[in-house]
Structure 1
């Protein structure tokens, strides 16, 4: 049931993606760079909120209650963004929405990691991870269909879905026993990072992975609409072609990560994912669904092992904080990804060579993943 909550939490994330141009660019008459900022400003809120909420959770222990309050605030922000408000107010609400969303998500991951014994943590995290990705996958085509005529409907729908997630969370989420945990401070967290230096590696991959996903949720949408003339429903289907294999295979690879090298899975998946991303714009439009599906499979190979390395390397009494740091690193990547994608595509394509601009953007995205593999994995093997 935690997986169902995860699905509902993540559907709203990609609901606006297929209508991004209409919802932001045309509605507020802003540039493509500011349009890309819509998919980054919520992650700024997430980066600031995640470590603070992780700290509060490890001190207080009431993670379920934090999920419920965060989801209520998230829904309010979605509804408020539908109003006729200035662009600055719209983006401020988006900032708060990101903080609320990451709080609920971090607490859900923490509850999932402590709800089973350590030997079954791979399947538990794989199930929740699959739910997260499945929500992202189906959000895009739903958003394309619902927002085809009125883009703002995606925000209304997002708010209602978050409320359903909150109602279900009341029934299915349970706080684990944390009475024996030690009180801790930021200084203890820094000591834990020094004592467990390997923990930095999955956090770096969290950043790089979400950095590239930021290109798919923003730059890719603008790319296929401008270069290939794709409409919102078509954009939604292309994104789901990437996300559905990603979601459906996360649980099997979570099981596999219990039996084989998590570091090996991370390396293989990251290499394939990086190559696919770097070469994305070289493929003709007819091949894009198959290419996106292949990239999604590669992403599934590395996703759950990365999360599991965080839970493996972190001390038990700091697991909520470690997972919050994981989400904060990913959110930071999601902040930078759309901005870098928008900046590169505009810089190289603003003189009319948009295909060249988008190609350079995805080359940077895929190349960053490959560079990280080449640098970080040898370090991780030496730290073992």
Structure 2
């Protein structure tokens, strides 16, 4: 019962962090205008991209500190409350201090650097629980999916009240996340011989690279995490602007369209995570990755809103099949004393994917149009999957019992 209760609490923290993040997406053009930007697509791209650049830079630092200290809960609290301050600063300081958009992006980077601590380490604390990695990562997955599913339509509604309202709501959510984290006991392995043998005072990114070098097989879930989040970043920017311009949807309707992806992505993660404990990781990841890129292209070539809506649901279902199995694979392949760094590396890879989805998608859409952007995103998904799958299938199933058989 204790593990189940803590699983629910940790999932609540993950949910609150993701809900806060996604609240901003449906009306991000309105938000950047409210904080002083004079353009739409490129300013939106940089506003989203700088947060994920901070995620990449600081995820490993948070993970390495938690592994060295043998404690995670206080760091989750610090990251959540720091992220809350960042969101409130974004809402208040640009107008109060007449900040340039560059100053706004600097605040956004600080907010991202703190928020990733709460997100990555709460997921690592789920890895520390008993009960099956698929089940624990399924709980993380459903929290991520619910946060994004609720955040998209709710954010659209909040933008109807004002361009800065989602920032205030996001800050309040991270305060709640910090308070919930205060009640969760640590189960992190204490820093022991394996870490002492490592012994160096490596920085977060270097530590994550060292972990990957020592366990190169972790590169496989990292690559699939990159693919998973690439699509999320693509839809957060290009999908948002595409739905608003191609189909003349407002922020509220755009939020509902994004919700059609995130709802099945949320609701199916836990059962698919449990399924991966039973049948192994290979099937869900390989089957999902083979179809993912085609589904993304299908949304981009949809001629009407109803057909695009069906495409979004299909993308969400496929993503739900892949995501918990991929996160569970990180748990399967990492050492107990290196879980924080391993999960940080996975989140850094995912953040790079999200960042690539924003930058690549936004750049191609700006230069060549939305159809070219969807084709590029789908082609990259398919290409990375095809390159990665043969290496994935060479993993020795005898060496990782979670692969089933």
TM range (shorter): over 0.9
Match of 2:280 among 261, 266, 285: 261
Matching residue of 1:105: 119
Match of 1:91 among 102, 105, 111: 105
Residue 197 (str. 1) matches residue 216 (str. 2): yes
CA distance in 1, matches of 2:154, 2:380: 31
Counterpart secondary structure, 1:18? coil
Residue 236 (str. 1) matches residue 262 (str. 2): no
Residue-by-residue CA offset, 1:176-222 (whole Å, 9 max, x unaligned): 34254532345886565344322111111111221221111111000
Match of 2:25 among 2, 17, 20: 17
TM-score by length of structure 2 reads 0.88
**Is the contact made by 1:203 and 1:330 (CA closer than 8 Å) also made in structure 2?**
yes
- Residues 191 and 161 of structure 1: CA distance in aligned 2, closer, same or farther (over 3 Å): closer
Task: Kindly state the Cα deviation for residue 29 of structure 1 after the two structures are TM-superposed.
Answer: 1.2
**Is the contact made by 1:33 and 1:339 (CA closer than 8 Å) also made in structure 2?**
no
Matching residue of 1:79: 88
Matching residue of 1:245: 264
Match of 1:59 among 43, 63, 68: 68
- Residues 87 and 31 of structure 1: CA distance in aligned 2, closer, same or farther (over 3 Å): same
Match of 1:126 among 132, 138, 150: 138
- Residues 152 and 189 of structure 1: CA distance in aligned 2, closer, same or farther (over 3 Å): closer
**Is the contact made by 2:218 and 2:330 (CA closer than 8 Å) also made in structure 1?**
yes
Q: Report how many aligned residue pairs link the two structures.
A: 374
**Is the contact made by 1:25 and 1:32 (CA closer than 8 Å) also made in structure 2?**
no
Counterpart secondary structure, 1:17? coil
**Is the contact made by 1:263 and 1:377 (CA closer than 8 Å) also made in structure 2?**
no
TM-score by length of structure 1 reads 0.93
Task: Kindly state the Cα deviation for residue 62 of structure 1 after the two structures are TM-superposed.
Answer: 2.1
**Aligned pairs (5 A) from 1:1-384:** 1=8, 2-25=10-33, 27-83=36-92, 84=95, 85-117=99-131, 120-178=132-190, 180=192, 182-183=194-195, 184=198, 185=200, 186=202, 192-283=211-302, 284-348=304-368, 357-384=369-396
Task: Kindly state the Cα deviation for residue 112 of structure 1 after the two structures are TM-superposed.
Answer: 0.5
CA distance in 2, matches of 1:28, 1:38: 10
Structure 1: tracts of 5 or more residues without a match: 349-356
Task: Kindly state the Cα deviation for residue 286 of structure 1 after the two structures are TM-superposed.
Answer: 2.1
Residue-by-residue CA offset, 1:42-98 (whole Å, 9 max, x unaligned): 011111101111111111122101001111110001011112132112111111111
**Is the contact made by 2:64 and 2:207 (CA closer than 8 Å) also made in structure 1?**
no
Structure 2: tracts of 5 or more residues without a match: 1-7, 397-405
**Is the contact made by 2:230 and 2:357 (CA closer than 8 Å) also made in structure 1?**
yes
CA RMSD in angstroms, aligned pairs only: 1.7
CA distance in 2, matches of 1:81, 1:192: 35
CA distance in 2, matches of 1:222, 1:286: 17
CA distance in 1, matches of 2:272, 2:374: 26
